[in-house]
Amino acid sequence: DNDFDIDAWSILIREAQNQPIDRARRTFERLVTQFPNSGRYWKTYIEAELFQRCLMKVLHIDLWKCYLSYVRDTKGKLSSFKEKMAQAYDFALDKIGMDIMSYPIWVDYINFLKGVEAVGSYAENQRITAVRRVYQRGCVNPMINIEQLWRDYSKYEEGINIHLAKKMIEDRSRDYINARRVAKEYETVTKGLDRNAPSVPPQNSPQEATQVDLWKKYIAWEKGNALRTEDQVLVTKRVMFAYEQCLLVLGHHPDIWYEEAQFLEQSSKVLSEKGDVNNAKVFSDEAGAMYERAVGTVLKQNMLLYFAFADYEEVRQCRGGMGCRGTGRSVFKKAREDPRTRHHVYVAAALMEYYCSKDKAVAFKIFELGLKKYSDTPEYILAYIDYLSHLNEDNNTRVLFERVLTSGNLPPEKSGEIWARFLAFESAVGDLASVLKVERRRFAAFRSEFGGCETALLVDRYIFMDLLPCSPAELAALGYRVLKYTYIFIHGKKPEYPKPNTRQMVPFQPRHMTPPGLHPIPGGVFPVPAAAINLLKLLPPPICFHVRALWGGYWGWGEGTAWQGLMGIS
C-alpha cells in the first residue's frame, strides 16, 4: 500500500537480482520511476542490466573484477552471503581464471575463504579444505606472480601441519614447476597484445596487421599444448579462452570466428574417438553456438560465415542421422522469415526434402508455399516445373503451366520462357492437337511482338536440345534467333559496347635512324599515309628546293655574277 516502503522495495530488489534481466527489468523500471533521484537504485539497475548483458560474452579481467565487487556490495547483507560470494568467485575463476593477469582474483578468493568464520573443528576442516583447494588450483595455473602464490601456499601448509606440509608440497611441486615454466612463455608470447583496443572492421593498417599476427601466434602457442598435458578438455578450454580474448579485439574478422568453430569441431572428434562422448557433444554444440553468435551479432552481413554454418549443420545432420526433419527445417524457417532471402530458399528446402527425406509430399507443399509468394518469378516457376517433370507427373505439370499462365500474376514480358517450356513439354508428352493449341495461345499472347514472324514460331516445335531444324542463314531469313529460350529478332539489334575504329591506324615502327620522308617520334617512326605518299611522288625531289643547288645551276650558265648580286649572296 505504501509506495515508499523501503524495506518492501529491498525485498523486491533482492528477488529481481536473482532473476534473468528480461524478467527483472520491469521491477527495476518501477524502482527508478518511484525513486528517480536515487543514485543508489540507479546504480543497482545499471549494474544488473549491464552485467547480465555482457558478462558471459566479454571475458575481460577488469570487467570480472568489477562483477565480483558488485556481488560483494549487493549480497553483503544477505544471510547466504558467504555461499553467494564463494559461488561468484568459483564462477569467475572458471571463466577468467586462465588469464595471465588473474592473480588478484585468486588471492582475493583465498583471503575471502580465510576470513570466513568457522566454529568447531568440522567447520575449521571445511575451511582448510576450501582454501587448500583454491591454492592447489592456482599453483598449477600459469599466470604472473605464480611464484608468490606458491610461497604463500607453502607457508599455509606449514602453518597447519609442518610434517604433512612437506609431502603436500612435494606432490604439487612438479606441476607447479611446469606451470611456472609455461607462465614465463605465456608472458612472452602475449607481450605486445593490445587487449583494450576497440573491435572495429578490418582497416588493413600496419598496426592492425601486427596485432593480428601477435594474436595468431598466441593462439598457435596454446594449440601447441604448452602445458604438455594429456587432458584434451583442458587444452581445448585454454585454446578457446585465447580465441575469446582475441575476439574482444578482432571481433569483425570472420577468419577468427571460423577458425574457433573449426577447432571446436576438431576437438569434439578427438574426444569422441577417445570415448568422452559427453564433452564431445558439449564442444560440438559450442561450435554451433559460435556460428550463431557470429552471424547474429557483428557479422550479420558476412555470407562466408553463413555458408560455413550451413556446412556445419549438414555434417552434423549426417553424423547424427537427423535428416531434414531437425535442424534443416528450423534453418528453412529462419531463412524464409529473413527479408534478404528470395525464392532460392524454397527451391533448396523442397529439393532437400525430396533427396534427403524421400518425402515428395513435403517437397510439393514447400513448392506450393513458395508459389504463393513468387508466382511472378520465372526462375522459381521453372524450378517447380523441373521438379514435377523429374517425377514424371504429366497431369500435375500441365496443371502448373495452366495456373501460372492464366493467373495474371506473371507479366507477359516475363512469360516467354514459360511458354517455350510449355510447348516443349507438349511436344514431348502431348499430341499434335495439344501442341497446336499451345502455339496458338502463345502467338495470341505475343501478337504484338511476333507480328509478321508467325513462321519463326514454328521452329520451336522441332527444336531438340541444341539441334535446330534450320540453318543459321534460314533462321536469320525467318527473323528468329534463340538464346536461352529468349526470342531475339534480327530487327532488334543487341546493344554492344563501343569499339574503336582501327582502319585508319598505322603500325608503329621502332628505328634508330630516321630516313627522309617519315614522321619521326622518340624511339621510332610512323609511316607516311598513302595519300601523302602519292602527293610526294608528284612533287620535285627535295634537292630542287635548296638555294645553293639552284645557284650552282645558274653558275654553270655563265650568269653567276648577276644572279649573285640579285640574291645578295657573296
Instruction: Indicate if 294 and 380 belong to the same structural domain.
Output: no
pLDDT for 491 equals 40
3-state helix, strand, coil in the chain (%, to 5): 70, 0, 30
Longest CA–CA separation in the chain, Å:
151
**Cα–Cα distance measured from residue 358 to residue 351, given in angstroms and rounded to the nearest whole number:** 9
Instruction: Indicate if 557 and 457 belong to the same structural domain.
Output: no
**Cα–Cα distance measured from residue 140 to residue 146, given in angstroms and rounded to the nearest whole number:** 8
Q: For residue 366, is it within any domain?
A: no
- Helices 6-17 and 39-54, axial angle in degrees (round to 10): 10
pLDDT for 178 equals 95
For residue 264, what is the enclosing H or E element?
A: helix 254-274
C-alpha cell at 137: 588450483
Instruction: Indicate if 438 and 485 belong to the same structural domain.
Output: yes
Instruction: Indicate if 172 and 241 belong to the same structural domain.
Output: no
pLDDT for 485 equals 36
Nearest CA-CA partner of 461 in 437, 492, 488: 437
Q: Can you tell me which residue has the cell 539441334?
A: 467
DSSP 60: -
pLDDT for 506 equals 66
C-alpha cell at 5: 516502503
Q: What does each C-alpha distance from 329 to 163, 181, 188, 270, 349 come to in angstroms?
A: 65, 51, 48, 29, 8
pLDDT for 408 equals 81
**Cα–Cα distance measured from residue 166 to residue 160, given in angstroms and rounded to the nearest whole number:** 11
Instruction: Indicate if 158 and 88 belong to the same structural domain.
Output: yes
- Could you list the residue range(s) of the whole structural domain that residue 561 is in? 532-570
Q: Can you tell me which residue has the cell 592447489?
A: 136
pLDDT for 570 equals 44
Nearest CA-CA partner of 445 in 472, 482, 405, 483: 405
Q: For residue 438, is it within any domain?
A: yes
**Cα–Cα distance measured from residue 43 to residue 479, given in angstroms and rounded to the nearest whole number:** 81
pLDDT for 280 equals 92
Instruction: Indicate if 149 and 274 belong to the same structural domain.
Output: no
pLDDT for 323 equals 52
Name the domain boundary from 134, 161, 189. 189
Q: Give one DSSP letter per residue of 466-523, joined into a string.
A: TB-SS-HHHHHHHT--EETTEE--TTSPPP-------TT----EE-SS--TTSEEETT
Would residue 408 be called left, alpha or beta, if left means φ above 0 and alpha means ψ between -120 and 50 degrees? left
CA 342 to chain centre: 19
Nearest CA-CA partner of 377 in 415, 338, 407, 339: 415
pLDDT for 14 equals 82
Residues 6+ apart with CB under 8 A from 103: 143, 144, 145, 146, 148, 149
CATH of the domain at 267: 1.25.40.10
Q: How many CB atoms lie within 10 A of CB 235?
A: 20
Q: For residue 147, is it within any domain?
A: yes
Q: For residue 467, is it within any domain?
A: yes
**Cα–Cα distance measured from residue 442 to residue 440, given in angstroms and rounded to the nearest whole number:** 5
3-class DSSP state for residue 525? Answer: strand
Instruction: Indicate if 101 and 184 belong to the same structural domain.
Output: yes
Q: For residue 31, is it within any domain?
A: no
Instruction: Indicate if 221 and 178 belong to the same structural domain.
Output: no
Name the domain boundary from 457, 477, 499. 499
pLDDT for 322 equals 52
Q: How many CB atoms lie within 10 A of CB 410?
A: 18
Dihedral angle, C-alpha 490, 495, 496, 502, nearest 10 °: 70
Name the domain boundary from 481, 499, 517. 499
Instruction: Indicate if 166 and 223 belong to the same structural domain.
Output: no
Structural domains counted in the chain: 4
**Cα–Cα distance measured from residue 100 to residue 65, given in angstroms and rounded to the nearest whole number:** 14
Instruction: Indicate if 174 and 213 belong to the same structural domain.
Output: no
3-class DSSP state for residue 50? Answer: helix
Rounded to two decimals, the pTM is: 0.61
Q: For residue 542, is it within any domain?
A: yes
The phi, psi pair for 85, rounded to 5°, reads -70, -40
pLDDT along the chain (570 residues), means of 10: 80 82 85 81 77 78 88 81 90 92 95 87 90 94 95 92 88 94 95 89 91 96 94 94 93 94 94 91 92 89 88 72 62 81 89 83 90 89 90 88 87 83 85 85 74 66 75 72 40 64 72 71 74 82 66 51 47
C-alpha cell at 526: 610512323
pLDDT for 56 equals 75
Nearest CA-CA partner of 55 in 84, 30, 20, 7: 20
Q: For residue 119, is it within any domain?
A: yes
Instruction: Indicate if 234 and 108 belong to the same structural domain.
Output: no
Instruction: Indicate if 142 and 93 belong to the same structural domain.
Output: yes
Q: For residue 50, is it within any domain?
A: no
